[in-house]
């Protein structure tokens, strides 16, 4: 296996449309086609993570017949699966298993599918009295568009008694549900994949497609939500002889558990390391000061992170904490549990009830308890820590299943929208206060990567695309110029100091952008920040003001933003091409997210899931030019094709390249008969230019003759050997991809 290319399937872009891309993708050098979820989801779903029926391939995409035709088109297929949850559709009757469980209660054969508290609370009621909106007819209880089954034998009861007699309760939409859910999304109900019958039923179609050769491998969505991720993977792995990746978010320095039987993560750890390579740590203090001055916010990220996690626990997860505290058997531990959850530095620390916890897990939880003790009774915190390590099985598991949602909502979807001195660092699994890494740190990271782990630069879930981040990274080298520009724009158009500075970063980095796209992004950013508005507490007056700000920002400041972006792009192109070459040729299996073989300046979803102009990319591939798009496409296809000629498990060899480059070899010293490669990428291009360029700086290549694939092709490219001047090697392109023929 050499690479993947991720496409986002929608009702408008199904299997037939994907099949039409296969010729282009093969020419690009892609090894596998990587599909968003393919099982039957809500009819109009644009993402597919709201599965409603595990027994069918999604009809809107072309069904199983269409999938088979796609598989026959010439690229092996990877499918994204969603074992942690399924959807609660509207009407609810469209989820057969849920309907059965709610109708027959604990006696239903499908009750075991879900992690219920009986009677099950469903938060669907509006704030107004619902009396006349609830109707009972034909054995069904209806509330507006919602439908719920009537428990057999209770149909004759008056409405108040009938409601009390059901296996469920309808409660206000702001209340916590009586079931485990996906993060704070009450319409996505958690599945008990640890149950053998549930596992078999929800995976039967997928396993059949793998056995028949229709699918070659899988990407597992959100394994940290499961009761036992490692146990789940041990059951899954025998059915998946091909590649198997997990969407596991690793925080800085964290590694995938060694006992997980999979090929690695989906690449956010690699993404964040690559981004930091192009960030100048010398710009940190100035950027933090500009952020503090223009927003009035603190310069202490850890304080923001703490407050954000506390905020989302009280806003979204009170029910989960109450249930966890009940499982621990001591209601007096609630405050200690909250502080322990807030202090957890990772998405999950792995404990199997009844087994000795791993030493690393014990260390993580003990360290978190030490921090939590500063905010709650130390004795209670210590007791809570002991219980989540060694206590009742349900409590041990539920604590782990709660850590992930608190991290995701508290950090990803709150803190990262409140603290953003340099927004390219505010990525999934990122640390916004860690400005930059050295070449040595990056080499050390690569040396520890599993050989088949996935690497990526953009996904359907990234906060901003790779080229937006490439532009933002330049600001770390232009902190004074950026501070002056942002202050000047703020002086002309302002609205909310807590949001304006993020708006200016986003406007510049996504330029040119329509008023509609910019407005939609700012509305989402404001709701995620939860300082002025939120998804639960809208404010029409604030939102109207924000829409006006977005329009005026583009109308009034657009020309100045465009001029500043033009300066940034001289250097952002260097970052863009460099990070692409590194990602595609570093250890692991590289993924290209749809359309990102050329420049893409998308913001957070749904902006990054817009339709892609593949026809334009096909024309550019046939006739490449020297534009940024043309150069990025050339780097992408050159690297992807080279991956097909080198040993994916071949050695990774760091090469000394000085402050302004990163260089490494792949496959050097491997067995005969395969190509070897060297990658050289420019770093910190502003500082390089200001010092006068490369001067007499050189790089010493490994022994042999090396052909520059970006300077021609495998037959006509320039050749190098030994000690080479950097100014010569990188005279035509800020990156070099070199190959040594196996016969050379």
pLDDT digits (tens, 9 = 90+) for 462-472: 999 999 999 99
Domain limits for position 50:
4-84+193-246
The least confident of 194-208, 503-517, 646-660 is: 646-660
pTM (two decimals): 0.96
- Whether residue 505 lies inside any domain: the answer is no
- Whether residue 544 lies inside any domain: the answer is no
In the block, residue with structure tokens 């993020």: 502
Domain count, the chain: 4
Query: Same structural domain for residues 74 and 182?
Result: no
Residue 146 confidence (pLDDT): 96
Query: Same structural domain for residues 80 and 198?
Result: yes
Query: Same structural domain for residues 50 and 78?
Result: yes
- Whether residue 79 lies inside any domain: the answer is yes
Query: Same structural domain for residues 230 and 364?
Result: no
Q: Please compute the mean of the pLDDT values over residues 402-422 and round it to a whole number.
A: 97
Give a three-class secondary structure readout of 290-319: HHHHHHCCCCCHHHHHHHHHHHHHHHHCHH
What CATH number is given to the structural domain containing 174?
Answer: 3.30.1590.10
| Position 716 pLDDT exceeds 60 | no
Q: Which residues pair with 53 in a beta bridge?
A: 40
Q: What percentage of the chain reaches a pLDDT higher than 70?
A: 98
Residue 671 confidence (pLDDT): 62
Query: Same structural domain for residues 365 and 412?
Result: yes
Query: Same structural domain for residues 80 and 104?
Result: no
- Whether residue 441 lies inside any domain: the answer is no
Confidence of residue 129 (pLDDT cuts 50, 70, 90): confident
| Position 713 pLDDT exceeds 60 | no
Residue where a domain stops, chosen among 216, 246, 276: 246
Distance CA 265, CA 445 (A): 14
- Whether residue 186 lies inside any domain: the answer is yes
Query: Same structural domain for residues 307 and 412?
Result: yes
Q: Which of 123, 99, 115, 13 is nearest to 61 (CA)?
A: 13
Distance CA 308, CA 668 (A): 47
Burial class of 1 by CB neighbour count within 10 A (0 to 12, 13 to 18, 19+): middle
Q: Which of 656, 652, 646, 634 is nearest to 735 (CA)?
A: 634
Q: Which two tokens stand for residue 508?
A: 């510049």
Residue where a domain stops, chosen among 385, 417, 449: 417
b/e for 286-320, b at 16 or more Cβ within 10 A? bbbebbeebbebeeebeebbbbbbbbbbebbbebb
Query: Same structural domain for residues 102 and 129?
Result: yes
Query: Same structural domain for residues 80 and 197?
Result: yes
Query: Same structural domain for residues 198 and 133?
Result: no
- Whether residue 712 lies inside any domain: the answer is yes
Q: Residue 92 in contact with residue 257, Cβ under 8 Å?
A: no
Residue 501 confidence (pLDDT): 98
Confidence of residue 408 (pLDDT cuts 50, 70, 90): very high
A 10 A CB-CB count for 716 gives: 10
Residue where a domain stops, chosen among 366, 391, 417: 417
pLDDT tens for 443-464 read: 999 999 999 999 999 999 999 9
Distance CA 650, CA 74 (A): 26
- Whether residue 154 lies inside any domain: the answer is yes
pLDDT tens for 526-554 read: 999 999 999 999 999 999 999 999 999 99
| Position 744 pLDDT exceeds 60 | no
List the Cα angle 647/241/592 in 5-degree steps. Answer: 55
- Whether residue 742 lies inside any domain: the answer is yes
Burial class of 194 by CB neighbour count within 10 A (0 to 12, 13 to 18, 19+): middle
Query: Same structural domain for residues 77 and 198?
Result: yes
Q: Which of 666, 661, 674, 635 is nearest to 729 (CA)?
A: 661
Residue 673 confidence (pLDDT): 65
Query: Same structural domain for residues 185 and 204?
Result: no
What CATH number is given to the structural domain containing 22?
Answer: 3.20.20.80
Distance CA 346, CA 250 (A): 7
What CATH number is given to the structural domain containing 729?
Answer: 2.60.40
**Mean pLDDT, the chain, as a whole number?**
96
pLDDT tens for 649-666 read: 889 999 999 999 999 999
A 10 A CB-CB count for 626 gives: 10
Q: Residue 701 in contact with residue 722, Cβ under 8 Å?
A: yes
């Amino acid at each position: 296996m050499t690479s993947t290319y991720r496409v986002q399937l929608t009702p408008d872009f199904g299997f037939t449309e994907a099949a039409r891309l296969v010729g282009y993708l093969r020419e690009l050098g892609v090894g596998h086609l990587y599909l968003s979820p393919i099982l039957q989801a809500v009819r109009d779903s644009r993402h597919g993570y709201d599965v409603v029926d595990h027994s069918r391939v999604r009809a809107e995409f072309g069904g199983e017949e269409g999938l088979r035709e796609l598989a026959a088109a010439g690229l092996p297929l990877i499918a994204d699966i969603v074992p942690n949850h399924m959807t609660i559709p509207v009407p609810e009757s469209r989820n057969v298993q849920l309907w059965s469980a709610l109708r027959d209660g604990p006696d239903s054969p499908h009750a075991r599918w879900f992690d219920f508290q009986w009677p099950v609370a469903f938060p669907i009621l509006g704030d107004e009295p619902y009396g006349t909106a609830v109707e009972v007819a034909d054995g069904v209880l209806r509330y507006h568009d919602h439908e719920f089954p009537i428990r057999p034998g209770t149909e004759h009861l008056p409405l108040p008694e009938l409601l009390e007699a059901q296996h469920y309760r309808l409660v206000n939409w702001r209340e916590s549900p009586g079931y485990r859910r996906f993060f704070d999304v009450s319409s996505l109900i958690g599945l008990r994949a640890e149950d053998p019958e549930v596992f078999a039923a929800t995976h039967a179609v997928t396993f059949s497609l793998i056995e028949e050769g229709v699918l070659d491998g899988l990407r597992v969505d959100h394994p940290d939500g499961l009761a036992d991720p490692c146990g789940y993977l041990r059951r899954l792995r025998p059915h998946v002889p091909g590649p198997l990746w997990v969407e596991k978010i690793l925080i800085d320095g964290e590694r995938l558990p060694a006992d997980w039987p999979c090929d690695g993560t989906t690449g956010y750890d690699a993404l964040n390391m690559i981004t930091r390579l192009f960030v100048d740590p010398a710009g940190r203090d100035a950027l933090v000061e500009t952020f503090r001055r223009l927003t009035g916010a603190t310069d202490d990220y850890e304080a923001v992170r703490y407050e954000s996690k506390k905020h989302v626990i009280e806003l979204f997860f009170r029910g989960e904490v109450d249930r966890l505290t009940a499982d621990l058997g001591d209601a007096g531990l609630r405050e200690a549990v909250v502080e322990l959850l807030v202090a957890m530095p990772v998405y999950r620390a792995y404990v199997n009830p009844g087994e000795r916890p791993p030493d690393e897990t014990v260390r993580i939880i003990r360290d978190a308890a030490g921090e939590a003790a500063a905010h709650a009774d130390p004795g209670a915190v210590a007791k809570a820590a002991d219980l989540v390590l060694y206590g009742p099985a349900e409590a041990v598991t539920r604590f782990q299943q709660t850590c992930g949602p608190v991290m995701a909502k508290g950090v990803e979807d709150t803190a990262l929208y409140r603290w953003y001195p340099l927004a390219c660092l505010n990525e999934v699994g990122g640390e916004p206060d860690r400005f930059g890494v050295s070449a040595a740190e990056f080499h050390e990271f690569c040396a520890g990567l599993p050989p088949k782990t996935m690497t990526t630069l953009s996904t359907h879930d990234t906060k901003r695309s790779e080229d937006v981040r490439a532009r933002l990274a330049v600001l770390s080298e232009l902190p004074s110029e950026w501070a002056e520009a942002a202050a000047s724009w703020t002086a002309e158009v302002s609205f909310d100091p807590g949001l304006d500075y993020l708006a200016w970063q986003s406007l510049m980095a996504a330029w040119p952008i329509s008023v509609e796209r910019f407005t939609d992004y700012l509305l989402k950013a404001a709701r995620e920040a939860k300082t002025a508005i939120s998804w639960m507490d809208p404010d029409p007056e604030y939102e109207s003001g924000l829409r006006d700000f977005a329009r005026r920002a583009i109308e009034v400041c657009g020309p100045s933003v465009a001029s500043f972006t033009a300066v940034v792009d001289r250097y952002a192109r260097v970052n863009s091409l460099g990070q692409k070459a590194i990602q595609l040729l570093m250890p692991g299996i590289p993924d290209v997210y749809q359309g990102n073989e050329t420049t893409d300046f998308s913001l957070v979803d749904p902006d990054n899931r817009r339709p892609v102009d593949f026809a334009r990319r096909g024309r550019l591939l046939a006739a490449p030019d020297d534009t940024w798009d043309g150069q990025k496409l050339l780097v992408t296809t050159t690297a992807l094709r080279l991956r097909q000629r080198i040993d994916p498990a071949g050695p990774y060899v760091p090469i000394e390249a000085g402050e302004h480059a990163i260089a490494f070899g792949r496959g050097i010293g491997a067995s005969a008969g395969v190509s070897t490669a060297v990658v050289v990428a420019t770093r910190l291009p502003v500082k390089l230019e200001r010092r006068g360029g490369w001067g007499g700086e050189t790089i010493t290549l490994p022994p042999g003759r090396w052909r520059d694939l970006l300077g021609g092709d495998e037959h006509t490219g320039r050749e190098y050997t030994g000690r080479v001047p950097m100014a010569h090697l990188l005279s035509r392109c800020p990156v070099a991809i070199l190959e040594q023929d196996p016969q050379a």
